[in-house]
Amino acid sequence: MIGFNIMNSTLISGILIWNDRKHGMFEQIMSGPFTRSHYILSNIFTIGIVGLVSASLIAAVGYPVFFDSVEFSLSTIPILVFGAITGSILFGSLASIISTRIHSSEGFNVIINTVFLFFAFVSTAFYPADGAPEPLRSAFYLNPLTYLVDVIRAGIFGNITEFVILEMLILVGIASVLFVIASKLLTKLDF
């Protein structure tokens, strides 16, 4: 649920861009001592905070349910923070990319909800890859939410393996690529 919620909370990124475009806020922001880079970084910073807060709330509420299995330590808490921040950047960048390419708020909502629903149900967020049939299992690993969920699970339950480290590297790679694309699209966007 933490990974799923991080993904959904990053909708804020796309919504911020749409509201700024619709209400002329971007022009007002740019009339101050701010650049487009400042705008992009503030957007990413916002979704990073939302991702961390939502992950913390879900972990705190869920702790009584799974406290017997939890293995928080000095090595697992940074993995949770890493997952929350990297996942927020990844899905926030994706929402930003979609919001820059779609010209209506209704189209943005339809596409982002469809994409995020696909990510949610073709991932290990609700069921493990081990028991899934082969075409579905392979599809899981084409989905960045699977990597986010696996990293967060490893952080909560202390199951840090070489495969989880590989998933962390893949998550950083995908998040970096999407962030660069989102930044380039946002700097070229006419608000």
Side-chain half-sphere CA neighbours of 66 within 13 A = 13
For the chain, 191 residues long, give each residue's pLDDT as a single digit of tens. Answer: 788 778 877 777 777 777 777 777 877 777 788 777 777 778 778 877 887 888 788 878 877 777 677 777 777 788 888 998 898 889 888 888 888 888 777 888 889 889 888 888 888 888 888 888 888 888 899 999 999 999 988 888 888 899 999 999 999 999 999 989 988 887 777 65
Give percent of the chain with pLDDT exceeding 70.
Answer: 97
Q: Is residue 177 helix, strand or coil? A: helix
Distances (CA, A) of 64 to 51, 59, 67, 77, 120: 21, 9, 5, 18, 25
User: For residue 71, which of 147, 159, 1 has the smallest C-alpha distance?
Assistant: 159
Q: Are 182 and 17 in contact (CB under 8 A)?
A: no
> For residue 84, what are its two tokens?
């929350």
Note the pTM of the prediction, 2 decimals.
0.84
Q: Are 116 and 4 in contact (CB under 8 A)?
A: no
Q: Give me the number of domains the chain comprises.
A: 1
100-112 per-position pLDDT tens digit: 888 777 888 889 8
9-28 per-position pLDDT tens digit: 777 777 777 777 777 787 77
Q: Domain range holding 147? A: 2-188
Distances (CA, A) of 26 to 48, 89, 97: 21, 21, 17
